[in-house]
Amino acid sequence: MGGTTEFFEIETTASQESFDISDRVKDVVARSGIARGLCQVIVLHSTCAIVLNETADPNIGKDVLRALGEVFPERDDWLHNLKDDNAASHLRASVLGPSEVIPIVDGELLLGKWQEVWLFEFDGPRARRVAVHLVEG
Ligand code: ZN
């Protein structure tokens, strides 16, 4: 089975924010020449997440951040804060998850009209590494 793995970096600029990384992912798929297969997008950090959702309205990303902040607020008594003081960031990233798998059909990502690829930052600003792993077949 053929395939490839490529990496790129996103320089986040705030403690919490969302980035549309669709064009970066689509570029890797286009250059691969793979007509049919699977594309896994994974962020290689424990306080970031990858999500498929609508980016045409950037307020959706802000709403996601707000909702996660309400569900997992900053608290002094999270156990991980004894070690690293960013427990809420880990919790928010954990529920969204670090990766998504998207089918490749006819050389393009199979996404709905309103689906794009978001990267969520929960503990920035930092340089974040993303892998795009393509499997042909
Ligand atoms: Zn930590």
Supply the pLDDT for residue 59.
Answer: 96
3-136 folds as: Jelly Rolls (2.60.120)
The whole model's pTM is what?
0.95
Element (H, E) at 43: strand 37-43
C-alpha 46 – ligand 1 centre gap (Å): 8
* Domain layout of the chain by residue ranges: 3-136
Q: pLDDT, tens digit, for every residue of 6-22?
A: 999 999 999 999 999 99
Burial (CB < 10 A; 0-12, 13-18, 19+), residue 118, is buried
C-alpha 24 – ligand 1 centre gap (Å): 27
Sheet holding 37-43, edge to edge: 3-11, 127-136, 37-43, 99-105, 108-109
Please state the rounded mean pLDDT for residues 53-65: 96
Supply the pLDDT for residue 89.
Answer: 98
C-alpha 89 – ligand 1 centre gap (Å): 8
Q: Any idea which residue has 């608290």 for tokens?
A: 75
Cα–Cα distance, 121 to 64 (Å, whole number)? 11
Q: pLDDT, tens digit, for every residue of 73-97?
A: 999 999 999 999 999 999 999 999 9
pLDDT above 90 coverage of the chain, percent: 99
